[in-house]
């Protein structure tokens, strides 16, 4: 008897949570729709990044500071990714992990930014929007050994 009562109460709680989540979700969607018609979408600068074995090319070396919509196109045959670091270090001098095959995303002299464009398969693209305050950034593919083989580019936000 007690078990039945508890199970019933549990279901009621779950149902309430589900309703709460649904309500929350639709409210968020409405907000997002409203905002999409406003300033953020039109204000975001655009940058095209092309990845391949083994290079990172950007459509511009300089972007306006602020939100930047980055379209990451993988023109290579293998998977790549795009990771953005704020840094004043030379393009080939980023701190490396102990294994020595990747940039240490927590390393000294670099600040790792989110989001990343991860797991971009050959021949596909992903789009991310990154907030870039005025400063110097390195766009890197941080899959094992890819940075070391030349997958990096400098972008300056002004």
Q: How far is the C-alpha of 7 from the C-alpha of 135, rounded, in Å?
A: 56
Location of structure tokens 């790792």: 112
What is the closest distance, in whole angstroms, from the C-beta atom of residue 72 to Cu ion in the complex? 11
Backbone φ and ψ of 115, nearest 5°: -85, 170
Residue 132 touches Cu ion, criterion: CB under 5 A: no
Residue 126 touches Cu ion, criterion: CB under 5 A: no
- Choose the binding region for Cu ion from 104-112, 114-122, 126-134, 138-146 (rule: CB under 5 A): 138-146
Q: How many residues bind to Cu ion according to rule CB under 5 A?
A: 5
Q: How far is CA 28 from CA 51, 67, 87, 120, 128, in A?
A: 34, 21, 34, 28, 20
Residue 143 touches Cu ion, criterion: CB under 5 A: yes
Residue 80 touches Cu ion, criterion: CB under 5 A: yes
Footprint on this chain of Cu ion (rule: CB under 5 A): 80, 141, 143, 146, 151
């Amino acid at each position: 008897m007690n078990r039945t009562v508890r199970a019933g109460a549990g279901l009621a709680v779950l149902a309430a949570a589900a309703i709460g989540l649904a309500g929350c979700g639709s409210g968020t969607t409405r907000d997002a729709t409203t905002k999409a018609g406003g300033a953020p979408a039109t204000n975001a600068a655009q940058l095209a990044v092309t990845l391949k074995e083994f290079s990172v090319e950007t459509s511009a070396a300089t972007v306006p500071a602020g939100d930047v919509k980055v379209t990451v196109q993988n023109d290579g045959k293998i998977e790549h990714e795009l990771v953005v670091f704020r840094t004043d270090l030379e393009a080939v001098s980023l701190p490396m992990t102990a294994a020595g095959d990747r940039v240490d995303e927590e390393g000294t002299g670099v600040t790792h930014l989110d989001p990343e464009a991860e797991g971009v398969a050959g021949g596909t693209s992903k789009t991310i929007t990154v907030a870039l305050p005025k400063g110097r950034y390195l766009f890197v593919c941080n899959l094992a050994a890819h940075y070391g083989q030349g997958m990096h580019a400098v972008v300056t936000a002004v």
